[in-house]
Amino acid sequence: MHKIVWFGTLNKSIGYIGKKKTCLLSPCEKICLNSARKTVQRCDKNYSPPKLRRIKNFYTYSVVLGSLFSIVMWAIYKLGKPEEDHRGPIEDEFSQLPWFRQYIMRMWHTLQYYEKMMEEPQMARLLPNVVPPPYIQPPYSLVLEIKDVLVHPDWTYQTGWRFKKRPGVDYFLQQCSRNFEIVIYTSEQGMTAFPLLDALDPYGYIKYRLVRGATDLVEGQHTKNLDYLNRDLSRVIVVDCDPYTTPLHPDNSLVLTKWLGNDDDVQLFDLTAFLQLIAEHQVNDVREVLRYYRQFEDPMEQFKDNQRRLQEQSQESIQNLPTSERQWNLTLLGRSLRGSSIK
């Protein structure tokens, strides 16, 4: 068998060991030989000695194992450190153990707590029991959604996500807090809702905050089960802009039109008047009132129309009464007699 030897470029002849023989290469053969030469050179470049490969593998494994070790140590420190107050670390059942064992035991205890919390079913009571006398418990519970009821999310390229505050929010929360236990019940994540509520309610009119973890996931929809509220449902009003969030308790829902961020909106002022009227009349079962307004597309607009008609009827009936009776009715309706002329 003869060994091929290249001499110079491909344009020259090739020689063989043994008997010399010269031949010219065709263009196709030149291309094949050039490709073979490049393949051999590429293999030579990629070739690395076994020792070099072992060094590379050692550094790779060292980086991976070092990263895993750092993550484990960080988890032990983060989950195993003792709780602190203004005086320093708080003593617990693990404080008498050696330092490293303290952290290991606390981390294990924390992991067991989270595992148990994930495995247990949803708690049967979302709100604590009604406070007994002499503490004051508002007669009604007002359950509010955040998105498109109190605020509207807005996104732009310059600012990203921002939340616009609805006109009249401060007045609404202040007035309703007198007769209503205000509860936020939203399908938003807590990491979004809690900072937003801190900025929205600096005076603490909102008593309780329930987020996505307190909802039920039914066919991909986060629903609110009012049976878990631990409140008398005859005195619970849910204000939302989505009629499908309370499928089990539609008679407790007051579905408003969705606020889209317009500055001329006055629905919260109308809603305040509506709720104050319920509280003043001491309605025993709010579901009867809400069931009536549920049939209208815009319940607040219907409420204003009803109030206008009622006021017109009251004016007509007052004008037909004698003078003595007319003054008594005016006082009962809470209207001022100052400056009024009774004929």
Give the model confidence (pLDDT) of 174-231 as tens digits. Answer: 999 999 999 999 999 888 899 999 999 999 999 999 999 889 888 888 899 999 999 9
93 and 65 fall within a common domain: yes
> Is residue 222 within 8 Å of residue 245, measured between CB atoms?
yes
pLDDT digits 0-9 by tens, 152-161: 988 777 777 7
The residues near 228 (Cβ < 8 Å, ≥ 6 apart) are 122, 123, 124, 125, 126, 214
Q: In terms of domains, do 9 and 69 share one?
A: no
DSSP annotation of 16: E
pLDDT value, residue 236: 97
Question: Does 108 share its domain with 9?
Answer: no
- The reply to whether 151 and 291 lie within a common domain is yes
The answer on 105 and 88 residing in a single domain is: yes
Residues 252 and 310 in one domain: yes
Closest CA to 13 of 26, 2, 24, 27: 24
The two beta strands, 15-16 and 140-144, are unpaired
Is 70 exceeded by the pLDDT of residue 119?
Answer: no
Whether residue 168 sits in one domain with residue 294: yes
Q: What is the reported pLDDT for 321? A: 59
Residues 167 and 111 in one domain: no
**Residue 295 and residue 158 share a domain:** yes
| Cα end-to-end distance, the chain, whole Å | 136
> Which pLDDT score, from 0 to 100, does residue 118 have?
58
Instruction: Examine the domain organization and report whether 150 and 256 are in the same domain.
Output: yes
Whether residue 129 is predicted with pLDDT greater than 50 in this model: the reply is: yes
Beta-carbon neighbour count of residue 100 at 10 Å? 10
What CATH number is given to the structural domain containing 257?
3.40.50.1000
| Co-location of 226 and 285 in the same domain | yes
Range of the domain at 175: 140-318
In a domain, 135, yes or no: no
Query: For the chain, how many structural domains are there in total?
Result: 3
What are 240-296's pLDDT values in tens digits?
Answer: 999 999 999 999 999 999 999 999 999 999 999 999 999 999 999 999 999 999 999
18 and 70 part of one domain: no
Q: Closest by alpha carbon to 261, among 158, 149, 157?
A: 149
User: Residue written as tokens 């494994």?
Assistant: 61
Cα–Cα distance measured from residue 149 to residue 267, given in angstroms and rounded to the nearest whole number: 9
131 located within any domain: no
User: What is the pTM (predicted TM-score) of this model?
Assistant: 0.60
